[in-house]
Every structure is written in C-alpha cells, then in structure tokens.
Structure 1
Amino acid sequence: MRIELVDEDNMIKLDDTLLPGIVQGVEVEQKVKYDEKQVSGSSGKKKQVQGFEDSVVRVTVILQNDEETEPYDRLEQLVALFRSMDKEAKPQIYQITNRLCAAYGIGKVLFEGVRVKDDNKWDYLVAELDFVEWEPAVVKVEERAVRGKIKDRGDANAAVKEQLTKFQLADQSLDKLSTPSVETAKVEMPASPAVDDDGI
C-alpha cells in the first residue's frame, strides 16, 4: 500500500527536526482544572475552579515504506526524538511547530509517550505520539501572582519594622524627657551662716 502526503498543514516540527513519517491526524485536548473538596454534611464534593490543565497533544503518524527508507528506519528516528535528553540528563523539551497547536497557543511540549502498531498485512507502521504542554501561560501567570503576594507580604513586614523602630525611638525620647539625669537632679543647698564661737 503506497501512502502519499496530502496535507502539508499537518506537518510537525520538533525544534528544527521534521517529524518522520506522514502525520495522519493531530488532536489537542484542553480541560478546566478543578479542586474538589468534601463538604461537611453533604455526600458530594464541592468543585472549585483553579484554572486550566496542561494541554495534551496526540499525534498519529504513519511510518511508510518507500524506495529509500523502510518504516523501521523512520521508527528509529522517532524513538531517538523521544529518548533525547538535555544537558541535565532529563527528557528534552521541544518547541512544537504545527498549525493546530499554534491555534491553541501551544509552544513548548514534553514528548511524553509513543506507541507503535505493526500488522503483517501492512507495509508500514502506525505510531501514536503523546505530548503534554510544558510551562503553559496560565502557570506563568500563577507564578507571577504568587511572587507578587510574597513581595507584598515582604513590603508589609518591612513597613511594620519601620513603624516599630519609630516607636522605639519615640519611647527613648520620652524616657530622656521624663527621667532627669543625675547631674540635673542635684540641688545646690545654700551655705549655712558662719557661727562665731567667741560671740556665744
């Protein structure tokens, strides 16, 4: 069975590398993020919206057979992309380039999983790839909000310390006014009149 590429819009790049094979389909899933809490006196749970879950991208790729390359050669390239690691020996984070992903605002992704299906009736392989959005925009906003709260709390603490210092200085000034020094407390008594012993 000979398969030809019919839609160039479905082509996917990971960084500067074109995904091997023919992209048969791309699926993007986005969900709202909930925080469920047990409500006292109720059998159910109360849901509180927390934002959005990380977007999930699922890609189906056909690793075709042609005169130059066999399906397993393309599979090796695919596995190499999946197992690629960064300088810290962690799974590589890719910049994904695809029209559908761009419409969702998805930029960086983690290559999370790969599944390959082989059938002896085919002369090609079918690979299913899973990607998860990495550092989505909502997380960055939440991080900035947390940092802002910490900064505000730090500014408030600094203001309290400043006021406390002013009060301490004021107390010291009052102490100086209300408590006279030893030298100030001395009272000079008038000299006693001289007594002439001969006149007595």
Structure 2
Amino acid sequence: MVKWSDLLTLVTAFQSCRDTNSVLKALANHLGDVVEARASLVWKLSRDGEGLLCVASTFEPGGRAELLRGAVTDCMLNEMLEIPRARHISKKRKGFDPELLLHLSDNDRARVREALYAPIPTAHGPLGVVEVLNKERGDFTPDDAAFLEEACRLAGRQMDALEAIEEERESSLSAVQRLTDLYDISRVLASTLEMAELLPIMGE
C-alpha cells in the first residue's frame, strides 16, 4: 500500500520548487529515503530527444555510481519511456539480462542486485525515467514500485504546473511590452502633431 503521508511530504517539497531541476532533485532525494534505495537517479531526455542524461541523483553515504558520459541510448532507460508503469528487474529472476544496465560501468553493473524503473509522465509525453538501485534491506516490494510510479506521476504534474506558470509569465511580459510599445508610438505621434502645429508659427 502506498504511504500517503510520504506522498504528501513529496508534494510539499515540490511546491517549494521554482524550476524543473529542483523538482527532479527533490524527487531523487525523497525516493532514496522512502524506498530505502542505495541509489536513486533521475534521467531526463536530452534537448534533441535522442538520449537520456542523469540530472539528479542520491547515493548512500560513501557510495557513488560511475555513469557513462553523454546521453545514453539503446538501454533499459530508453525502453521505459514507452512503458507507462513501473518495472522491477532482479538478478534473482530467471532470464535477467545484464545488458539492461549498459548505462552503468562494469563495476556498478556487477554490484546491482535489483532495480526499479518508472517514467516521468507530463502533458507533452514522458520527460525522463527514474531509476532506483538495490534496497538497503531485503528486496523491493510491489508497494515500493507503486510509490515510485505515483511519485513520478506527481513530479510530472508539478512540471506541467511550472510550465503553465512560465507561459503565463511570458504572456504577461509580452502584453506589458506591447503596451509599452503602444505608449512609445503614441508619444512619437503626439510629438509629431505638436511639431506640425508649430511649423506654421515658426515660419511667420
């Protein structure tokens, strides 16, 4: 069962975020604590949409993952962009394919026992993928997967809200600029009319 108190804490953290990067960092930090993962990484689609870049991460004290440089393609992460639900992979399961973790270094792949994945859905499609590695005690549970899925959905909603606020701000600035331009034009016209009235007098 998803812990609603944990989701409420996450929503509260999101509400204090003023940009998308802050949202993704808050997501990574919160997930590591709630699902007791040794590492949580947030992968975001690159600008060209051709690969994924790690933009936020948390690790257990003294831990660190060695990630491939640049955007990653053709791996488990890219597959998750097409899957609407969380996915759990484990070396305990028959048929586990190490190549699912090609975005990690050889040493890190050897240390991964299991992992959870979920896409971050937004109004414009998936923004990226969240990856959590190795539960501190025991194995990831269906509740962990459900929480990850819901947390990613909430992150996507916050992204949409921030985008809407930014669009409204830009629209307001554009309107102010148009009013300023109209005011400047009216001043120029007024000056021109005044000059036109003065010319006959100056010519006398």
Q: Same fold (TM over 0.5)?
A: no
Q: What's the TM-score once normalised by structure 1's chain length? A: 0.40
**Computing the radius of gyration over CA atoms, which structure comes out larger, 1 or 2?**
1
Q: Higher relative CO (CA 8 A, sep ≥ 6), structure 1 or 2?
A: 2
Q: What's the TM-score once normalised by structure 2's chain length? A: 0.39
